[in-house]
Chains A and B, each alone.
Chain A
């Protein structure tokens, strides 16, 4: 082993401190009721409570619905736009520059942008009212949920476009040319040549977006603060509510561990997808 390998230590030590130490704390807190008068060892009592908490179940199912809705719109839309923007022309260049803007905007500002669009006399509200629909997401639960999905689509479809565009630009074009001379249709070229070529980035970005949508916090919280009712209360927001606002440390720690485990599991799948592609390191 080369002594230069030790240069990796500073990073490892810092991530140990900010990654592993908090996890050990979580495990420790999750089996008791820390910082209360009646602290005692509880075993798995907190975990049992988490599993039977209707608000956890609600937040989880809402979050999964949110992820599914966002991904089902974002991924096909992103691929279609990337295909559309593939040919070089003036308007395509402008569109592909404009489309990168949302990726560079902080999530909190995206929430703010949309909150400005959807208040009573905002342009988006007026636009929807043109179709004769009464639009008030601050009152109507399903409208709030779909607005949150829409904002996520607005924010992150551009990332899908960026990744798929990069993949399309990097692929070998000669099979496409020969398929064209053989008389293949546009759909056939996409389905049998381009789609296999971009399958790795596509799988990667899908899993990445899945993990990110499970962590969604900023935009829905800024727009609706979990309301109306509980319609936009996703997992992160609920953990923050019980952990920080209500200061139920034991319970929040158990919930955090489960939450962490779900994301970690997805992360493991992500990396397995990676290793099948080009190798991890």
Chain B
């Protein structure tokens, strides 16, 4: 195979693609280690000033990062506990209006958060769960629960039903069957669903800006406020450092996650 025009063109296109997706991230990392006087020059190399990183990992920011981590981790536990049984039921049994119920879950995932936020704010305040961990996790469940029900159902369908029937004939109770056979068999799916719950809770910004203000304020809320009052280049370094922190979890898990990423965003349908 020689150096044909076609292969050269293809290489150019691919290099452009790689550059397009890598450069913005490279630039953000550069800005996070540049000093406030260096940034306005528009240079694309850093001057290795780490003051903003210190700021982004201490004080209010550290508290919000911790809040984010707590909310995401508790969201994963809560949602897995609630939706794992539901996924099991949808993948094994047919019952009255099961299809409608299944579709109704999806409509909640699809509903625009902006259209629900007004009643959320009023209900959350009157119940006293506004600006608490449990309230934030509950609000995030509106997109997490449908997603994990759909994902669990699609993964569990690949586990043969005969396994259940055989186990129940052998006298297993449901709990025993789950502990001995079903949960070990569906362990990979629990990992994948946890990943998506974690990712979407970590990414959520709109509801957190309205349903939290201090106690359970996640990093995205504080970042949004900071960006709102960001003047001409003064805070860019700090915002960039925080931005790097928000993309770290995704980047760390990128290689492992890429094989099933399409599944999570399409509810296990593709």
Chain A residues at the B interface, C-beta cutoff of 8 Å: 1-2, 4-5, 7-8, 10-12, 14-15, 17-19, 21-23, 25-26, 29, 81, 84-85, 91-92, 94-109, 111-117, 119-123, 126, 154, 158-159, 162-163, 165-167, 200-201, 204-205, 208, 211, 214-215, 217-218, 222, 225, 235-237, 239-240, 243-244, 249, 252-253, 256-257, 259-260, 263-264, 266-267, 270-271, 274, 277-278, 280-281
Q: Considering only CB atoms, which chain B residue lies closest to A158 in the complex?
A: B21
Q: Which residues of B contact A100 (CB under 8 A)?
A: 254, 257-258, 261
Residue from B41, B106, B115, B251 in contact with A267 in the complex, judged by beta carbons closer than 8 Å: B106
Q: Are B21 and A99 in contact (CB under 8 A)?
A: yes
Residue from B44, B113, B206, B236 in contact with A119 in the complex, judged by beta carbons closer than 8 Å: B236
Q: Which residues of B contact A7 (CB under 8 A)?
A: 85-86, 88-89
Q: Are A15 and B142 in contact (CB under 8 A)?
A: yes
Which residues between 210 and 235 of chain B lie within 8 Å of chain A, taking CB atoms?
210, 220, 223-224, 227-228, 232-233
Given contacts A8-B89, A106-B203, A19 and B270 within 8 Å (CB-CB) = no
Q: Are B120 and A159 in contact (CB under 8 A)?
A: no
Q: Is the interface of A mostly helix, strand, loop or mixed?
A: helix
Complex CA gap A165/B260 in Å reads 12
Residue from A98, A244, A280, A281 in contact with B121 in the complex, judged by beta carbons closer than 8 Å: A244
Residue from A112, A214, A240 in contact with B223 in the complex, judged by beta carbons closer than 8 Å: A112
Given contacts A249-B122, A252-B118, A267-B106, list 4 more A-B pairs with CB under 8 A. A22-B120, A104-B250, A159-B262, A256-B114
Q: Are B27 and A117 in contact (CB under 8 A)?
A: yes
Q: Which residues of A contact B13 (CB under 8 A)?
A: 84
Complex CA gap A15/B178 in Å reads 25
Q: Are A260 and B115 in contact (CB under 8 A)?
A: yes
Complex CA gap A253/B99 in Å reads 29
Q: Which residues of A contact B47 (CB under 8 A)?
A: none
Which residues between 49 and 102 of chain B lie within 8 Å of chain A, taking CB atoms?
82-83, 85-86, 88-90, 92-93, 95-96, 98-99, 101-102
Task: Please name 20 pairs of A and B residues whose Cβ atoms are closer than 8 Å in the assembled complex, sorted by A.
Answer: A7-B86, A14-B145, A15-B146, A22-B119, A84-B13, A85-B14, A95-B17, A101-B21, A101-B25, A104-B253, A104-B261, A119-B232, A119-B236, A122-B42, A165-B262, A166-B262, A215-B113, A217-B113, A236-B112, A239-B114
Q: Which residues of A contact B101 (CB under 8 A)?
A: 8, 12
Q: Does B240 contact A (CB under 8 A)?
A: yes
Given contacts A18-B139, A18-B142, A91-B14, A113 and B102 within 8 Å (CB-CB) = no
Q: Which residues of A contact B133 (CB under 8 A)?
A: none
Complex CA gap A167/B261 in Å reads 13
Q: Does B158 contact A (CB under 8 A)?
A: no
Distance in Å from the Cβ of B35 to the closest Cβ of chain A? Answer: 15
Given contacts A100-B258, A104-B247, A109-B246, A8 and B269 within 8 Å (CB-CB) = no
Q: Are A98 and B111 in contact (CB under 8 A)?
A: no
Given contacts A107-B205, A108-B224, A252-B118, A114 and B265 within 8 Å (CB-CB) = no
Q: Which residues of A contact B232 (CB under 8 A)?
A: 119-120
Q: Considering only CB atoms, which chain A residue lies closest to B249 in the complex?
A: A104
Q: Considering only CB atoms, which chain B residue lies closest to A124 in the complex?
A: B24
Residue from B11, B27, B103, B118 in contact with A123 in the complex, judged by beta carbons closer than 8 Å: B27
Q: Which residues of A contact B17 (CB under 8 A)?
A: 81, 95, 98-99
Distance in Å from the Cβ of B118 to the closest Cβ of chain A? Answer: 4
Residue from A122, A167, A244 in contact with B270 in the complex, judged by beta carbons closer than 8 Å: A167
Complex CA gap A72/B95 in Å reads 41
Q: Which residues of A contact B23 (CB under 8 A)?
A: 123
Return the CB mask of B17-42 against A: 1 if under 8 Å, else 0: 11011111101100100000000111
Complex CA gap A237/B104 in Å reads 25
Q: Are B233 and A119 in contact (CB under 8 A)?
A: yes
Q: Are A117 and B24 in contact (CB under 8 A)?
A: yes
Distance in Å from the Cβ of B259 to the closest Cβ of chain A? Answer: 9
Distance in Å from the Cβ of B25 to the closest Cβ of chain A? Answer: 7
Q: Are B102 and A280 in contact (CB under 8 A)?
A: yes
Q: Which residues of B contact A260 (CB under 8 A)?
A: 111-112, 115-116
Q: Which residues of B contact A26 (CB under 8 A)?
A: 115-116, 118-119
Complex CA gap A158/B96 in Å reads 39
